[in-house]
Amino acid sequence: MKKINAAIVGASGYTGIELIKILINHPNFNLSYAGTSEGGVKISDLHPSLLHVVDIDVKKSDAREIAKTCELAFLALPHKTAMEFAKELLNLGVKVVDLSADYRLSLENYEKHYGVHLDKEHLKNAVYGLPELNREKIKKASLVANPGCYPTASILAIAPFAPYIKKETPIFIDAKSGVSGRGKKITESEHFVNVNENFLTYNALKHRHEPEIAEILTLHGIANNIHFVPHLLPITRGMLVSAYIQVNTEIDAFKVLTSFYKDEQFVRIRENTVSLKLTAGTNFCDIFAIQKDDIVFVSSSIDNLLRGASAQAVVNANLMFGFEESAGIPKVSYVP
Amino acid sequence: MKKINAAIVGASGYTGIELIKILINHPNFNLSYAGTSEGGVKISDLHPSLLHVVDIDVKKSDAREIAKTCELAFLALPHKTAMEFAKELLNLGVKVVDLSADYRLSLENYEKHYGVHLDKEHLKNAVYGLPELNREKIKKASLVANPGCYPTASILAIAPFAPYIKKETPIFIDAKSGVSGRGKKITESEHFVNVNENFLTYNALKHRHEPEIAEILTLHGIANNIHFVPHLLPITRGMLVSAYIQVNTEIDAFKVLTSFYKDEQFVRIRENTVSLKLTAGTNFCDIFAIQKDDIVFVSSSIDNLLRGASAQAVVNANLMFGFEESAGIPKVSYVP
Amino acid sequence: MKKINAAIVGASGYTGIELIKILINHPNFNLSYAGTSEGGVKISDLHPSLLHVVDIDVKKSDAREIAKTCELAFLALPHKTAMEFAKELLNLGVKVVDLSADYRLSLENYEKHYGVHLDKEHLKNAVYGLPELNREKIKKASLVANPGCYPTASILAIAPFAPYIKKETPIFIDAKSGVSGRGKKITESEHFVNVNENFLTYNALKHRHEPEIAEILTLHGIANNIHFVPHLLPITRGMLVSAYIQVNTEIDAFKVLTSFYKDEQFVRIRENTVSLKLTAGTNFCDIFAIQKDDIVFVSSSIDNLLRGASAQAVVNANLMFGFEESAGIPKVSYVP
Amino acid sequence: MKKINAAIVGASGYTGIELIKILINHPNFNLSYAGTSEGGVKISDLHPSLLHVVDIDVKKSDAREIAKTCELAFLALPHKTAMEFAKELLNLGVKVVDLSADYRLSLENYEKHYGVHLDKEHLKNAVYGLPELNREKIKKASLVANPGCYPTASILAIAPFAPYIKKETPIFIDAKSGVSGRGKKITESEHFVNVNENFLTYNALKHRHEPEIAEILTLHGIANNIHFVPHLLPITRGMLVSAYIQVNTEIDAFKVLTSFYKDEQFVRIRENTVSLKLTAGTNFCDIFAIQKDDIVFVSSSIDNLLRGASAQAVVNANLMFGFEESAGIPKVSYVP
């Protein structure tokens, strides 16, 4: 079968390299274009770990060049920049999986939290790319908004409890992420000495993933107030979300989860606990829940760069092009 | 001024070495006895970092020997073992600071969570050693039950909000501790490879510190349901507690905290966030809070071995013997 | 093409899981047997990260059972135990890649460092499985002794300099390994608190990999005295070897390396330095060298569990069965 | 006894905060001046861990202001900047301990490696502040050049073997340092993601501490060629040096060390190995050595910020002012 040519726009960052790593071993996509804002280097100059592994040229990103050879583009760009490329690529007939926040929210919500939207046209038809909730829509989409990492882990953990959740009680999400979630930027906050042997909260009750979680959960029947606090873990990759919800009735939390996800190959329900090591390197979302009285504690673990970004993006692309959902998607964790 | 002779029973563990480190530089206490279940070695055999620093003999722990020379004993022992020593020492006239759980709870609560209590007599008069809440009682006590690490951080964070807390809403405590909190025991769970680059929950909604927190908060006017989930951080020392509470009224969370702790020298209210590095190595409890609508997020950071165990124990001893509260207590963190 | 059935004996350890991870995605081998000393579980019971990934039964290891269906067995066992299995399997016609030390050394050297050898018969024909040095012999071998991790990194770094080395000057090898190199055993030395934020030497000048390095280097023309000191790094996986040699002549160390390894796909010569991150997760050995006067400093980096054990073992198997050398072998590192 | 007023010039960096931490608890020095290039803040603004611990103002560094009240200044500045302050302070009668490289080397050596020297006058009388080798000179000095971290650990390890070292054989020093040794600057090399779970060499055979080690060892009778390679450890603080030397004769390395350092309170000879944890937080240099044939492997461990910088600086100041050498100097490590 002929492979589909795919482009990565924004190949230098962490989600960029993860996309590269997946696409070079993908049975149906062919990585034929890698772009950055500068261009003019080899992939192994950007990512020395890929020396003697992949050696295509990195170009200065150009939508028209992409459209000449590619049917699909992954945008691993900051928000705002992403929508400029998306708009042009879509108009040129290229399907897009956008890893930024630009197409995840309703217009109203977007402009409240991120500022003016420059591509209202395509925003209308963008599909939120959480396959477990939106699979059929994704299959037909030209533009998929790949979910944020915190929203992916949070929504997958909480959504199954929709029928049981007490509507008046707020939902509290205490989330923890490794440092790769902050990207490659270098400020005091990413200095090894400041992160190592440390742990802290940031953007408590103010993080922009909170409205994303709330909006998507509302669409799936959970309109409770959501209170979200992220923390920074002294590790490179991995994300664990701990959520606290109140329910109306006695339930068997484990059964609720296994039943909800019984046909899903990238969600695993754990009987004891979840831990980051078991998902690092994979597209799995592991979930554990326990109930005491009317309180359910539910915890999910993902690899923030894979299930929280690049691997989920390729799952979405697989669906958009009618390939097997798991084609090329990593399932084997980095353990030990 | 003549120093008071003090004993450490259980000198080999992490809280044992922290007690040693504080007492050898204490202006008012003299470490005159260090005991373990075996004895027969030097302190620097147990703790090679103390070679050429302190070199007293470690004895096989014996209450009667202790009573001959010491007016005070710190018990750094497992629960159950602790109360056997405490009972005998108290009967011999030695004051006791017990770092185990044996005297922290009401009899009923204790026996529900830990089994039969063997020293009901002294349990009645034991004082819960959280200086900010019980200072005057501690001063008069012969037996102080040193609080658990999670309860210390949790109670100090939540107690100031007692007047404002909405009584019907449960309080959620999402807590994270470094590995030293598990002590020196060696199981799969403490193997470097299993902890490093990992993060996980354990004993979710079932940890024995939950009833301790609930009992003490109830005594201070907060009878809400408490739901507690601890997590294991891939670091050696440090503990961060994130608590979620609902309040009845608009408050200025920062002012509530600064006002409540205005005379306290070992509590610092932070304007932005708390982080473990700033308290590691000290007896400080740093607290940060922020409100959104009727939700207050409050977060506290302590050194689990110091404020969560040994340094707080020495503060209690300072109070019991009429010394300055801060005598010999570490205030300078390990930063960077 | 029909796949070759392969067995893993010793499936529970770190090298066991790495073999599993490679074989389940291998185009030419079929993992048809996984054994441990106990058996009676599923692979995902031993390795929870493999839940929903692979789910074959784990048997109590039995050579005759293996011989019924498998043409190849990997032995991921302690030395001594390994040769018992190897002997029986070879006699039953099964080819063997042994990851232990049992067939790496000459009889004399083995018995000096490890004790009595119980399979002198097969020892004679065992081939030391370092493909870059012994490729043709490996292709014809029935029994391959997979090199130790330190020897792999050390020999690959030093061997290219054979023509230039000053014979009288000792060679110093200062090596550093992550904790996974110690296996799953749990002693004080693997306790997180003792490893984290720490670094130390062990077995200085006494490690059993020293004679292995010396014996193999001698076979390749470097009979100098070898002095070897390993250190324990506070990381999970990765090994870096720093070697100091004196040469007879002005050389261009970079060219010596690139020329020696010009046809090798699993050795990369780095122009600046090597670092563990770039090889973790792969079978690559990265090498860097620099000369000052008559001193050459050469440094190599490998993944101790992959190039230092399981991935190299599968490369050897590929060669033994006439498959492409890189079939199924990981080249994409865990970066970031 | 009246305390001596001391100044810290360069109070914002890692060595700055370590000086502050020592001086605020020092029995004989009074921290009366803290300066940075900007000034205008409180110490707890620079170092939030010191909130409620010390709260003096930080000034824009000014030598004349310092000279008005201080008899001593510590310079925690980059080289070049340091000598400008030193020159002026010395001319104003203030004694100086300089933590930079500016006064450590002979003029010739300095200008070869660091460029033009701007204070040749005082360079002549500067004393190299390694107390174990230069104690008597330090006592009489007005200007002490505090040794580099690598030179401190290397020289203390190697110097005792001076009488036995084979003169023709080069000495190889394989050194490893935690990230705090790089200071607070933020480049890609200090990004958490690049350091964590990584390990690498840098400046192999080219580091500027190599000539410092060579020059000082030569003064103490060891004129061998020195080859020095530093590595970056994924930890915050700690430095381990592994040195390889050839000797002329059978010696008992342990006895050589214990005899050489028999009167020293800040050097500990270890019987098994050294490890970073045992010295972190202290001024100790721990040393271990083992001999095989005519090769001696000697390994030393220090806290790079304390024995390798600030604590050693205060020891030097103690000597310069006739105080007890150990006054205010930390001996209790951060263990566990």
Decide if D166 is inside a domain: yes
Sequential DSSP letters for C99-162: -SSTTTS-HHHHHHHH---S-HHHHTT-EE--HHHHHHHHHH-SEEEPPPHHHHHHHHHHGGGT
**Of all residues in chain A, what percent carry a pLDDT higher than 90?**
99
Instruction: For residues C108 and C193, state if they share a domain.
Output: no
Does the pLDDT value for residue C250 go beyond 80? Answer: yes
Question: Which range of residues forms the domain containing residue A35?
Answer: 4-125
Q: Average pLDDT in the A25-29 region? A: 98
Please answer yes or no on whether B193 and C187 come within 8 Å at the CB atom.
no
Q: Which residue of B has its CA nearest to A243?
A: B174
Distance between CA atoms of residues C124 and D43, nearest Å: 71
Give residue D55's pLDDT.
87
Please answer yes or no on whether D49 and B278 come within 8 Å at the CB atom.
yes
Give residue B164's pLDDT.
97
Please answer yes or no on whether C273 and D201 come within 8 Å at the CB atom.
yes
Which is nearest to A232 in space by CA: A188, A196, A273, A184? A196
Give residue D94's pLDDT.
98
Please answer yes or no on whether D180 and A193 come within 8 Å at the CB atom.
yes
Q: B250 CA to chain C: closest CA distance, Å?
A: 44
Decide if D169 is inside a domain: yes
Q: Which residue of C has its CA nearest to D196?
A: C235
Of B47, B278, B279, the CB nearest to D335: B47
Please answer yes or no on whether A192 and D191 come within 8 Å at the CB atom.
yes
Tens of pLDDT, residues A176-223: 999 999 999 999 999 999 999 999 999 999 999 999 999 999 999 999
Q: Average pLDDT in the C167-174 region? A: 96
Decide if A299 is inside a domain: yes
Q: C63 CA to chain A: closest CA distance, Å?
A: 28
Q: B283 CA to chain C: closest CA distance, Å?
A: 20
Instruction: For residues A296 and A182, state if they share a domain.
Output: yes
Q: Judge contact between D299 and D288, C-beta under 8 A.
A: yes
Of A202, A205, A297, the CB nearest to B205: A297
Low-confidence ranges of chain B (pLDDT < 50): none
Q: Domain containing C88 — which CATH number?
A: 3.40.50.720
Decide if D64 is inside a domain: yes
Of B193, B276, B290, the CB nearest to A199: B276
Please answer yes or no on whether D53 and B331 come within 8 Å at the CB atom.
yes
Instruction: For residues D114 and D166, state if they share a domain.
Output: no
Instruction: For residues B183 and B315, state if they share a domain.
Output: no
Please answer yes or no on whether D190 and A192 come within 8 Å at the CB atom.
yes
Instruction: For residues C33 and C165, state if they share a domain.
Output: no
Distance between CA atoms of residues C147 and C104, nearest Å: 7
Residue C265, φ and ψ in degrees, nearest 5:
-95, -10
Q: A234 CA to chain B: closest CA distance, Å?
A: 7
Decide if C231 is inside a domain: yes
pTM: 0.98
Residues of C in contact with A47 (CB under 8 A): 335
Q: Average pLDDT in the C186-213 region? A: 96
Q: Which residue of B has its CA nearest to D282?
A: B49
Instruction: For residues D10 and D87, state if they share a domain.
Output: yes
Residues of A in contact with D200 (CB under 8 A): none
The one-letter code for the residue type at A138 is: I
Of C197, C276, C336, the CB nearest to D235: C197
Mean pLDDT by 10 residues, chain D (336 residues): 94 98 98 97 97 96 98 98 98 98 98 97 98 98 98 98 96 98 94 98 96 98 97 98 96 97 98 97 98 96 98 98 98 97
Point out the catalytic residue in the list D17, D149, D274, D302. D149
Decide if D315 is inside a domain: no
- Residues whose CB falls within 8 Å of the CB of residue D91, separated by 6 or more in sequence, listed in order: none
Decide if D216 is inside a domain: yes
Catalytic residues of A: 149
Point out the catalytic residue in the list B149, B155, B156, B306. B149
Distance between CA atoms of residues A282 and A274, nearest Å: 14
Does the pLDDT value for residue C1 go beyond 80? Answer: no
Which is nearest to B168 in space by CA: B291, B297, B252, B294? B294
ipTM, 2 dp: 0.97
Identify the chains in contact with B, defined as 3+ C-beta pairs within 8 A.
A, C, D
Tens of pLDDT, residues C302-321: 999 999 999 999 999 999 99
Best of D190, D196, D197 to disrupt the C interface (most C CBs within 10 Å) is D197
- The band of A251, judged by pLDDT with boundaries at 50, 70 and 90, is very high
Whether the link from the prior residue into D78 is cis, omega within 30° of 0, is no
Q: Average pLDDT in the C69-89 region? A: 98
Please answer yes or no on whether C186 and B188 come within 8 Å at the CB atom.
yes
Chain D contacts to A (CB-CB under 8 A)? 14, 179-180, 184, 186-188, 190-197, 234-236
Distance between CA atoms of residues C266 and C328, nearest Å: 13
Instruction: For residues D155 and D300, state if they share a domain.
Output: yes
Q: Tell me what the pLDDT averaged over chain A comes to.
A: 97
- The band of A299, judged by pLDDT with boundaries at 50, 70 and 90, is very high
Instruction: For residues C155 and C295, state if they share a domain.
Output: yes
Q: Average pLDDT in the C72-91 region? A: 98
Cβ burial, residue B68 (10 Å; 0-12/13-18/19+): exposed
Give residue D42's pLDDT.
97
Distance between CA atoms of residues C208 and B12, nearest Å: 33
Decide if B292 is inside a domain: yes
The number of folded domains in chain B is 2
Tens of pLDDT, residues D155-200: 999 999 999 999 999 999 999 999 999 999 999 999 999 999 999 9
Residues of C in contact with D227 (CB under 8 A): 244, 292, 295, 297
Sheet holding B295-302, edge to edge: B200-201, B226-232, B171-177, B239-246, B295-302, B285-292, B267-269
Instruction: For residues B169 and B109, state if they share a domain.
Output: no
Instruction: For residues A159 and A295, state if they share a domain.
Output: yes
Alpha helical stretches, state H, chain D:
14-23, 43-46, 63-69, 81-91, 107-114, 120-123, 131-140, 149-158, 192-195, 209-219, 253-260, 311-320
Residues of D in contact with B53 (CB under 8 A): 331-332
Please answer yes or no on whether C49 and A21 come within 8 Å at the CB atom.
no
Instruction: Give the start-end residues of each E strand in chain A.
Output: 4-9, 29-36, 41-42, 57-60, 72-75, 95-98, 127-128, 143-145, 171-177, 200-201, 226-232, 239-246, 267-269, 285-292, 295-302
Identify the chains in contact with A, defined as 3+ C-beta pairs within 8 A.
B, C, D
Instruction: Give the start-end residues of each E strand in B158-202.
Output: 171-177, 200-201
Instruction: For residues A157 and A283, state if they share a domain.
Output: yes
Q: Domain containing B246 — which CATH number?
A: 3.30.360.10
Give residue C176's pLDDT.
98
Long-range Cβ contacts of A18-21 (<8 Å, 24+ apart): A18/A305, A18/A306, A18/A309, A18/A310, A18/A311, A19/A74, A19/A76, A19/A310, A19/A313, A19/A314, A20/A47, A20/A50, A20/A54, A21/A310, A21/C332
- The band of C156, judged by pLDDT with boundaries at 50, 70 and 90, is very high
Instruction: For residues B22 and B120, state if they share a domain.
Output: yes
Give residue D203's pLDDT.
96
Q: Which residue of C has its CA nearest to A330?
A: C53
Q: Tell me what the pLDDT averaged over chain C comes to.
A: 97
Chain B contacts to A (CB-CB under 8 A)? 169-170, 172, 174, 176, 193-194, 197-202, 204-206, 225, 227, 229, 231, 233-238, 240, 242, 244, 246, 273-277, 280, 288, 290, 292-293, 295, 297, 299, 336
Q: A124 CA to chain C: closest CA distance, Å?
A: 35
Alpha helical stretches, state H, chain A:
14-23, 43-46, 63-69, 81-91, 107-113, 120-123, 131-140, 149-158, 192-195, 209-219, 253-260, 311-320
Give residue B55's pLDDT.
87
Catalytic residues of C: 149
Per-residue exposure over A38-61, b if at least 16 CB sit within 10 Å of its own CB, e if not: eeeeebbebbbbbbebbebebbeb
Tens of pLDDT, residues C289-306: 999 999 999 999 999 999
